[in-house]
Amino acid sequence: MTSSTKRRVSYFYNPEVGNFHFGPNHPMKPHRLSLTHNLILNYGLYKKMSVYKSREANLYDLKQFHSEDYIDFLSRVSPSTLHLWQEASLSRFNVGDDCPIFDGLYDFCKIYSGGSIEAAAKINGDLADIAVNWSGGLHHARKDEASGFCFINDIVLAILELLKYHPRVLYIDIDVHHGDAVQEAFYITDRVMTVSFHKYGDSFFPGTGEVSEIGDKKGKYYSVNVPLLDGIDDQTYTSIFKPVIQKTIEFYRPSAIVLQCGADSLACDRLGCFNLSIKGHGECVSYVKSFGLPTLVLGGGGYTVKNVARCWTYETSLLLDTDISNDLPFNDYFEYFGPDFQLHPDIVARFDNQNSKQYVDDIKMRVLENLRSLQHAPSVQMDRLPPDLSYFELQQEQEDEEEEEKIDVRIISGAKTDDREYYEDEFDNDRDT
C-alpha cells in the first residue's frame, strides 16, 4: 500500500471528557481535548471520517488488566471521602500530587478507556483502517497503581483487545516520557513489541527506558528503548525514528500498530524538553501510516494546551490525507491561539540540542543491533506467515477448518454448539458481566 492511499478512519470522542479537572496548578488539563475536538470540527475534518461518541468502559473491561482492589478503590474514592481512607491505601495505590483524587475521577477513567477499547474493536472487525482516540494514551498506569497522571492504562486494555484477532501488535510511543507501564505489561511476551522514544537522564520521569531494557524470557528483544537528550529537533528525531521503525516492522511483521502520540515532545511544552515542531511530530505519524497496517492512534501527554490541540488536529488531517490551512478557522476557543492564530506557529527553541551526531549514531547502532538479534529469535521464525495471505484470511481458513471439525464432533456427540460462544464478532458491543 502506498502512503497516498486513503484509509477508512474512525474517530472516537466523548464530549464529557474535557469537563474533568485534576485541580489547580496540575499540568494535566482534560480541557485540551475539548479544544482539539472543536478545532477538528471547525476544519471540517469530521466529514471525512466516521465520528463516534465513545461509550464508557465497564468493570469487565477494566478488569482485563487492572486488579479488582484497585478498580474498587477508584470507583469509591472521592475528594469528599478522602479523609476516610487510610494513608496506607492512598500510598498503596500511589494517589497524591501527580495522581490526585478529583471529582468524577472514575467516570473520567471509564470515558477515556472506553474510547480506546472501542477503537481497537473497530480495527478488529476490519471496519476501520485507522481508529483514533485523542483522549487515550495514558501509558503510566499499572495493574494496581496510578502513576504519572494516569489511572487506568487504556493502551494495555486496547492492545489486549487487538490480541483477540492479531498475532503481533506493535506499540510505538512518541510521548517525551518513557512508555514504562505498557512495556512492563508485555515485557515477557513476543505477542507485543513496544518501542518508546523519550527523554532519559537527569531523573526525568519515570526514570526508566535505557537501551539495555530489551524484554525478558519469551519477550527478550521485544522491548525497544530510544533514550534521547534535551532539545532534540525534527531532523535529529526523524533520523533515528524512521530507521528504528522501519527495521522493527521489517523484522517483527506486526499485523496491527498502536501509536501513542504524546504531544509533550513538542517544543515549548510546559513539562517537556524536546524541540519538535508540529510538522516534525506529524512526520512520525505519517511515517507509521505509510506502512498501511491497521493502526490505533492515541493521545497521551501534552501540557501546552493550544499546541496539543494544533498537533492532534494536524495529525488527524494527515491520517485523512487532507491538506488544511495554516490559518486557523474560527472556533469556540479562538482566543487561545493568539497572537498568530496559525496551525504551525514559529517555534522558539528553549533547549539546545544535546543530541550530538555521535550520541544518536551510537543509540541507533545499539537499537538496530538488538533488532538483528530479534530476527534470529525462534518464535518469529516459527510464526512466519505466508507473505500473500493476511492474518484475517489465514484465520478465516483456520476457522473454516475448525468449523468443519466442529460439525463432525456435533454429529458424533449430538451436542449443539453456538458459534457465539467461540468468537466475538464486530457487532459484539455487549460487555456487561
Q: What residue numbers does the annotated binding site for substrate cover?
A: 98, 148, 303
CA separation for the pair 407, 410 (Å, rounded) = 5
Q: Please choose which of Ca ion, ligand V1D, none residue 329 contacts, taking the beta carbon within 5 to 8 angstroms, the exact cut-off set by kind.
A: none
CA separation for the pair 162, 96 (Å, rounded) = 32
The distance of closest approach from Cβ of residue 219 to Ca ion in the complex, given in angstroms and rounded to an integer, is: 18
CA separation for the pair 307, 139 (Å, rounded) = 20
- For residue 261, the surrounding DSSP H or E stretch is none
* 301 part of the interface to ligand V1D, by CB under 6 A: yes
The distance of closest approach from Cβ of residue 176 to ligand V1D in the complex, given in angstroms and rounded to an integer, is: 7
Q: Judged by CB under 6 A, which stretch of 19-27, 102-110, 113-121, 363-371 contacts ligand V1D? A: 19-27
Q: Please choose which of ligand V1D, Ca ion, none residue 98 contacts, taking the beta carbon within 5 to 8 angstroms, the exact cut-off set by kind.
A: ligand V1D
Angle CA(326)–CA(238)–CA(232) in degrees, nearest 5?
Answer: 85
In this structure, the number of other CB atoms found within 10 A of the CB of residue 237 comes to 26
- The count of residues interacting with ligand V1D (CB under 6 A) is 20
The distance of closest approach from Cβ of residue 426 to Ca ion in the complex, given in angstroms and rounded to an integer, is: 31
Angle CA(121)–CA(127)–CA(129) in degrees, nearest 5?
Answer: 95
* 262 part of the interface to ligand V1D, by CB under 6 A: yes
Positive or negative, the CA dihedral 90, 93, 96, 100 is negative
Helix (H, G, I), strand (E, B) or coil at 11: strand
* 196 part of the interface to Ca ion, by CB under 5 A: yes
- For residue 365, the surrounding DSSP H or E stretch is helix 357-375
The distance of closest approach from Cβ of residue 226 to ligand V1D in the complex, given in angstroms and rounded to an integer, is: 15
| Catalytic residue check, 140 | yes
Cell of 189: 511476551
Q: Judged by CB under 5 A, which stretch of 38-46, 176-184, 199-207, 391-399 contacts Ca ion? A: 176-184
Helix (H, G, I), strand (E, B) or coil at 327: strand
Q: Which residue is nearest to ligand V1D (CB)?
A: 301
Q: Out of 18, 30, 114, 148, which residue is the one contacting ligand V1D (CB under 6 A)?
A: 148
Gyration radius from the chain CA atoms: 22
Interface mask toward ligand V1D for 60-99; x: CB under 6 A: -------------------------------------xx-
Q: Which runs of E-coded beta strand occur in 60-184? A: 130-133, 169-173
Q: Judged by CB under 6 A, which stretch of 122-130, 132-140, 277-285, 411-419 contacts ligand V1D? A: 132-140
Considering beta carbons, is residue 110 or 140 the nearer one to ligand V1D?
A: 140
Q: How far is CA 93 from CA 21, 42, 359, 398, in A?
A: 20, 40, 38, 43
Q: Out of 17, 138, 228, 371, which residue is the one contacting ligand V1D (CB under 6 A)?
A: 138
Q: Judged by CB under 5 A, which stretch of 30-38, 191-199, 200-208, 310-318 contacts Ca ion? A: 191-199
* 21 part of the interface to ligand V1D, by CB under 6 A: no
Q: Please choose which of Ca ion, ligand V1D, none residue 209 contacts, taking the beta carbon within 5 to 8 angstroms, the exact cut-off set by kind.
A: none
Cell of 171: 506499540
Helix (H, G, I), strand (E, B) or coil at 398: helix
Q: Judged by CB under 5 A, which stretch of 12-20, 70-78, 189-197, 379-387 contacts Ca ion? A: 189-197
The distance of closest approach from Cβ of residue 196 to Ca ion in the complex, given in angstroms and rounded to an integer, is: 4
Q: Tell me the DSSP string of 144-163.
A: TB-BTTBSS-HHHHHHHHHT
CA separation for the pair 185, 67 (Å, rounded) = 13
Q: Pick from 94, 77, 100, 78: which is nearest to 25 by CA?
A: 100
* 150 part of the interface to ligand V1D, by CB under 6 A: yes
Residues tagged in the binding site annotation for a divalent metal cation: 175, 177, 264
Q: At what angle do helices 278-289 and 305-319 cross, to 10 degrees?
A: 30
CA separation for the pair 129, 294 (Å, rounded) = 5
The one catalytic residue among 66, 140, 178, 281? 140
Considering beta carbons, is residue 142 or 177 the nearer one to ligand V1D?
A: 177
Contacting positions for Ca ion (CB under 5 A): 173, 175, 179, 196, 198
Residues labelled catalytic: 140
Binding site for ligand V1D (CB under 6 A): 25-27, 97-98, 137-140, 148-150, 175, 177, 205, 262, 264, 271, 300-301
